[in-house]
Amino acid sequence: MAEMPQTFANHARTRPAYHFATFLPLMVVLIWSAVLLVRAPSQEHGILLLLAFLLVVVALWTRIFALGVQDRVIRLEERLRLERLFPDDLRTRIAELSIDQLVALRFASDEEVAALTRRVLDDGIADRKAIKALVRDWRGDHQRI
């Protein structure tokens, strides 16, 4: 099945297996265990609340770690891409780009990435969402986590 073309409006992803089948039930258990502890304080209910809290923390950190690794890979891919596409004067400025800027710039087409990068650097635009909103010719990334 072909992927739907990506745009700024539809590029955000929800992973049902994580967001609804994993994280949502963990939050329900956390709230339920807190209610149990308030209604009937006991050591067992306190331990249940602690375990539920720790499971939520593990689920969050698992997601954060995966996104961190993804950002590092994107940084490497984009630096290689920009080295290939940029004119000499802009190629020397690649090191000035932050991870957030590189992650956002990956959506810019090969034709517009140099001009957009120059604008991002000259105007000091650092926010991912603001940079992505400036992309005119969207280059989809269908392998995101």
d(CA 36, CA 90): 60
- In this prediction, residue 1 carries a pLDDT of 46
Task: Spell out the domain ranges in the chain.
Answer: 15-72, 86-139
- In this prediction, residue 140 carries a pLDDT of 81
Looking at the DSSP bridge assignments, the partners of residue 138 are 108
Give the predicted TM-score (pTM) of the model.
0.75
Say which residue the tokens 């996104």 belong to: 67
Q: Is the separation of the CB atoms in 101 and 131 below 8 Å?
A: yes
pLDDT averaged per 10 residues, the chain (length 145)? 64 73 92 97 97 96 92 94 96 96 95 97 96 92 73
Q: For residue 78, what are the CA distances in angstroms to 50, 55, 60?
A: 42, 34, 27
